[in-house]
Structure 1
Amino acid sequence: MFDDDAVKKPRGHEVGMLIDTMSVEELEERIGLLKAEIARLEQAIAARNKTRSEAESLFKL
């Protein structure tokens, strides 16, 4: 009779999602997930910048 999918919480965090019903522990977990994602994105930026810098150095005379 009840839909279990309607009760399940989202696995990830979406920007702008409702947080009013989350516990402190859930909020802290979300912060941890977001910090890990920020670190991953920063690593991707650093890798792309390194690749670009290496490519530019090959074409300089």
Structure 2
Amino acid sequence: MMEEDPPRRIQGFVPPVLDGWDVEELKDYIGRLRAEIDRVEAAIARKQVHRGAADAFFRRPKE
């Protein structure tokens, strides 16, 4: 019998309080956020490629 994978939890994003940050800290924070967005977009693209390959293999009609 195969064990089921545990359910995935989507972690919420809690934005930090920006009041005490100077301009350079804010710019650095924006850079980190943009890098994270790029990382997530790359993961989405990889998943879409895999899904497309699976759909083509099984000839699943596109929705």
With the shorter chain as reference, the TM-score category is 0.7 to 0.9
Q: CA deviation at 1:21?
A: 0.3
Based on CA coordinates, which of the two structures has the bigger radius of gyration?
Answer: 1
Q: TM-score, normalised by structure 1?
A: 0.73
Any stretches of 5+ residues in structure 1 without a counterpart? 1-13
Residue-by-residue CA offset, 1:4-59 (whole Å, 9 max, x unaligned): xxxxxxxxxx6321100000000000000000000000000000000000000001
Is the partner of 1:38 in helix, strand or coil? helix
Question: Could you state the TM-score of these two structures normalised by the residue count of structure 2?
Answer: 0.71
Aligned counterpart, 1:9: none
Greater RCO, CA 8 A, separation 6+: 1
Higher helix share: 1
The root-mean-square deviation of aligned C-alpha atoms, in Å, is 1.6
- Aligned ranges 1:1-61 → 2 under 5 Å: 15-60=14-59
